[in-house]
Chain A
Amino acid sequence: GDSVTQMEGPVTLSEEAFLTINCTYTATGYPSLFWYVQYPGEGLQLLLKATKADDKGSNKGFEATYRKETTSFHLEKGSVQVSDSAVYFCALSDGRGSTLGRLYFGRGTQLTVWP
């Protein structure tokens, strides 16, 4: 079945360091891919998404490229800030457009950024 594997945390970085969180997926079809972020005590916020191969999602300095050949969707940011400290989840959806689908989540990666 469909599944997502992401880098185990925690990840601890200094402010302005480069961030990579690895994510690979297994899917039978052509899923959409997502990164969600969760701040303490809150729900999930969509960070970025990509719906087809070679698409690059980007938001707030974060980027991820949908790589079908390596079944990957790694999250990157060139210069992290203290405010980026949160838990990051990679996810895939087996739905299409207005059709519905469930989200399959990775286990999450805790990121802590020190000033």
Chain B
Amino acid sequence: AQSVAQPEDQVNVAEGNPLTVKCTYSVSGNPYLFWYVQYPNRGLQFLLKYITGDNLVKGSYGFEAEFNKSQTSFHLKKPSALVSDSALYFCAVRDFPSGGYQKVTFGTGTKLQVIP
């Protein structure tokens, strides 16, 4: 069974400092990995995804993520945090379909607090 772990419920970072939100995964095949952001009272917005190719993926709002197959990780990063980045971040994995199975598993979310 596939799974996603976000080990930190909350991450605090000072504005202007680099940020990292951690995600590890477990799948039986090749993973498709996603990061989403949720602002208060809103739906989830897509940030970036890894399908194949370059391990460093660049996405929206200056975010990037690094796929590490040996460590089964897909950490979200940004070189310089903004107060407006404060939100809830979700990592998700979609396993390579076998027989058309299309389950998507989300992590429990990490609240990012950027301190002015």
The answer to whether A binds B is no
Chain B: residues with CB nearer than 8 A to chain A? Answer: none
Chain A: residues with CB nearer than 8 A to chain B? Answer: none
